[in-house]
């Protein structure tokens, strides 16, 4: 009976460590995705069409020479 209890504790410990590793990996992936999203949509890296009008893209006229 003692061997069964020891084996059960070992398997529970092993399962918990695997679940903790999976959770840690998910947290790292989530943090990386959030960092990438912040970088992608930051004001410095994302134009938001502030320098050109939407109608400039819809026009068939060539762009004005400056």
Tell whether the model's pLDDT for residue 54 goes beyond 60. no
- Give domain status of residue 41, yes or no: no
Q: CA 21: distance to chain centroid?
A: 18
Domain count, the chain: 1
- Rg for the chain (alpha carbons), in Å? 27
- Domain hosting residue 12, numbered range: 8-34
- Give domain status of residue 63, yes or no: no
Residue 37 to residue 51: CA distance in whole angstroms: 22
- Give domain status of residue 58, yes or no: no
Residues near 56 by Cβ (< 8 Å), separated by ≥ 6? Answer: 63
pLDDT > 90: what percent of the chain? 45
- Give domain status of residue 45, yes or no: no
pLDDT digits (tens, 9 = 90+) for 8-38: 999 999 999 999 999 999 999 999 999 888 8
pTM of structure: 0.54
Look up residue 35 and give its two tokens: 């960092």
Determine contact, residues 53/59, Cβ cutoff 8 Å: no
């Amino acid at each position: 009976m003692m061997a069964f209890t020891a084996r059960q504790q070992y398997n529970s410990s092993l399962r918990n460590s695997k679940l903790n590793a999976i959770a840690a990996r998910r947290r790292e992936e989530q943090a990386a995705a959030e960092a990438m999203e912040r970088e992608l949509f930051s004001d410095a890296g994302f134009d938001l069409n502030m320098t050109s009008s939407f109608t400039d893209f819809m026009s068939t006229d060539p762009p004005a020479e400056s």
